[in-house]
Amino acid sequence: MHGLELPNPVLVASGTFGWGTEYQPLVDIQRLGAICSKGITVRPRDGNPTPRIAETPAGMLNAIGLQNVGLRAVVQEKAPIWARWHVPVIANISGESVAEYEQLAGTLDGVPGIAGLEVNISCPNVTDGGRLFADTPKSAATVTRACRAVSSLPLMVKLSPNVGNIVEIAQAVEEAGADCLSVANTLLGMVIDVKARKPYLANRTGGLSGPAVRPVIVRMVYQIASIVTIPVVGVGGVTCLEDALQYLLAGASAVQVGTANFVNPRTATEIIDGLEDYLTQQGIRDIAEIVGAARPPAARPAVSTTA
């Protein structure tokens, strides 16, 4: 990722690892590739009514509604903790307008403890009639450009899978100055309570995550990584080494572990161990050797060809 050297390619996903402190008693968090923080908004948010979680085969839906303490509390209370850590913390930001993204990115620029920004463009855009910024190449690029203009931090833009042509949006975001893409946020879904004959979640719809979404997102990473030149981070249903390898072979340079943290909080560190063993066993010196290896040779970007 431009300007940010990650110690390894296994990150933990936003909203599934809190502020990083919560899992400290269980997980050696300093070994992680990076921690993506809980989504941050300008003002503190209460989030949605309950129930906020539903289960579905090999997946879950959530409709948390971005409950968080707000920008000021993050700068004053969380960032000073992160500044003492080795593990890079990437702040995940969500705005309701372009101006809010600017305020978030601008305020976080240069704050010690914040190693990069993950721009979540998949939250409701109240200034544009309920559409998402991630919905069109134009609005996705506008947000990216606005953040780029006010921040010197490495910029990872998190795409929504709930769009017609994600490759088009990835290209627009790359052209607008993103250093990296995270692919993807949750898939919009719904569970109906058949006894009550109404949607189960109070918010009616929720975001699907977990192993159930993996094939969809692996496909998206495969498509996007063939077209863009910036690194892609695969996010969706990573539970073990094999899952992480699928993403790397599809063209991702790194992965994020999300829902699996709830099931086994040590998933990410176990994948890091597994990956080290795998590379040694396979005699691979640089992980770049396997990135995109599942794609047809012609489409692969020129990596080292000395072998």
Ligand X SMILES: Cc1cc2nc3c(=O)[nH]c(=O)nc-3n(C[C@H](O)[C@H](O)[C@H](O)COP(=O)(O)O)c2cc1C
Q: Which residues bind ligand X (CB under 6 A)?
A: 13-16, 38-39, 62, 64, 66, 92, 120, 158, 185-186, 209-210, 213, 235-238, 257-260
Instruction: Give the H/E segment covering residue 104.
Output: helix 98-108
CB 88, CB 112: distance < 8 Å: no
Choose which of 3, 43, 50, 72 interacts with other proteins (CB under 8 A): 50
Residue number with the shortest CB distance to ligand X?
Answer: 15
| Contact pattern for other proteins over residues 208 through 237, marking x by CB under 8 A | --xx--------------------------
User: What would the DSSP string read from start to end of 259-270?
Assistant: THHHH-TTHHHH
Choose which of 22, 77, 242, 273 interacts with other proteins (CB under 8 A): 22
Q: Is 164 helix (H, G, I), strand (E, B) or coil?
A: coil
- Least CB distance to ligand X at residue 24 (A): 19
- Least CB distance to ligand X at residue 149 (A): 21
Taking the least distance from each CB to ligand X, the nearer of 144 and 185 is 185
Is residue 247 within the footprint of other proteins (CB under 8 A)? Answer: no
Among candidate residues 123, 147, 180, 240, the one labeled active-site is: 123
- Helix axis angle for 166-175 and 214-227, nearest 10°, is 50
**CB burial of residue 217 (10 Å; 0-12, 13-18, 19+):** buried
- Least CB distance to ligand X at residue 106 (A): 19
Taking the least distance from each CB to other proteins, the nearer of 55 and 77 is 55
> Please, which residues have CB within 8 angstroms of residue 111's CB and are 6 or more apart in sequence?
75, 79
- Least CB distance to other proteins at residue 124 (A): 18
277 binds, among ligand X, other proteins, none (CB under 5 to 8 A by kind): none
Closest residue by Cα to residue 238 from 214, 219, 272: 214
> Please, which residues have CB within 8 angstroms of residue 281's CB and are 6 or more apart in sequence?
none
Q: Residue 123 catalytic? A: yes
Quote the radius of gyration of the chain (alpha carbons, Å): 18
Q: How far apart are CA 83 and CA 261, in angstroms?
A: 23
Taking the least distance from each CB to ligand X, the nearer of 15 and 292 is 15
Catalytic residues: 123
Q: Summarize as ranges the residues that interact with other proteins (CB under 8 A).
A: 15-18, 22-23, 25-26, 38, 46-47, 49-55, 57-60, 62, 64, 67, 210-211, 239, 259, 261-266
